[in-house]
Amino acid sequence: MSVSQTQRVMTPVEVLGRKGGEPLVCLTAYTTPMARLMDGVVDIVLVGDSVGMVLHGLPSTLGVTLEMMIMHGRAVARGLSRSLLVIDMPFGSYEESPAQAFRNAARLISETGAAAVKLEGGVHMAETIAFLVARGIPVMGHVGLTPQAVNTLGGYKVQGRGSDGARIQADAEATAAAGAFSVVLEKVPASLADKISETIAIPTIGIGASVGCDGQVLVVDDMLGLFGDFLPKFVKRYAELGQTAREAIADYAAEVRGRAFPAAAHQFADSEKAAK
């Protein structure tokens, strides 16, 4: 049977329909093997611009290009047949005008197979979100801590504490009113995330926000212990794969130096018969 007969493919419309329902599960992925591991297990796979820091060693997401996103988007698409694929618009690819945003979002969609784009910013990006949605491009918003604005925000700080909460609430409301099918709330107080989740009509997807959000997202390398010695408060480590890899690499190095690898089982005999 074909994939479409046996497996349900998640869509932006279905994500929207999950408002107030079963929590949405979202993880980032940047490669085909990682996408295969999570396909159908999570609802949404995000090719985040965090790829720049996680896989390319960049100090922030600001150096990520459209070409990098397209390359990783294609790789992830090859590993997915069920989860919804959403791809980040990188810094500088959408802020100038709705027309610039459409041109680059169309490339991301048509060249990768992603079904939707994510972009950062609330009130000031509402016109652009509406422009894209009206032209057939589903948009996931992203408000609160918006890492592409790290230089104007003065660092990766919690956003929306105290009276500043009204600004984030307005950003989330503008994103919803513009037609986004969901919105990421990053690093905002839990009480604010709960209030936003109760008042806007689209699913909120929290990262460093609240268990009361309509869904959660994490950077997969963070939660697997593959990235970063410094663990942000909002990340839970579900595995320590980095430590496991370090130990395996050290074992390999020791065995090569001690001539214990390759063993007979990993070598070839002179004839196939002798090998049996």
Q: One-letter amino acid identity for 169?
A: Q
**Closer residue to ligand KIV in complex, CB, 46/188:** 46
Q: Whose CA is closest to 185, among 225, 157, 143, 218? A: 143
Cα–Cα distance measured from residue 41 to residue 43, given in angstroms and rounded to the nearest whole number: 7
186 is a catalytic site residue: yes
Cα–Cα distance measured from residue 1 to residue 19, given in angstroms and rounded to the nearest whole number: 32
**Closer residue to ligand KIV in complex, CB, 178/219:** 219
Q: Smallest distance from the beta carbon of 53 to ligand KIV, in angstroms?
A: 9
141 is a contact residue toward ligand KIV (CB under 6 A): no
**Closer residue to ligand KIV in complex, CB, 59/162:** 59
Cα–Cα distance measured from residue 184 to residue 187, given in angstroms and rounded to the nearest whole number: 10
**Closer residue to ligand KIV in complex, CB, 48/225:** 48
Q: Would you state the structure tokens that stand for residue 203, as one six-digit string?
A: 């699913």
Stretch that binds ligand KIV, among 43-51, 71-79, 225-233, 258-266 (CB under 6 A): 43-51
217 is a contact residue toward ligand KIV (CB under 6 A): yes
At CA 114, angle to CA 113 and CA 119, rounded to 5? 145
H/E run at residue 186: strand 182-186
Under rule CB under 6 A, which residues in 114-133 are in contact with ligand KIV?
Answer: none
184 is a contact residue toward ligand KIV (CB under 6 A): yes
List the one residue from 10, 24, 28, 115 that touches ligand KIV (CB under 6 A): 28
> Total residues contacting ligand KIV (rule CB under 6 A)?
10
Name residue 25's beta-bridge partners: 216
Annotated catalytic residue within 67, 111, 173, 186:
186
88 is a contact residue toward ligand KIV (CB under 6 A): yes
Q: Prior bond to 262 cis, omega within 30?
A: yes
Sign of CA dihedral 39, 41, 42, 48: negative
Q: Contact positions toward ligand KIV, by CB under 6 A? A: 28, 46, 48-50, 88, 184, 207, 217, 219
Active site residues: 186
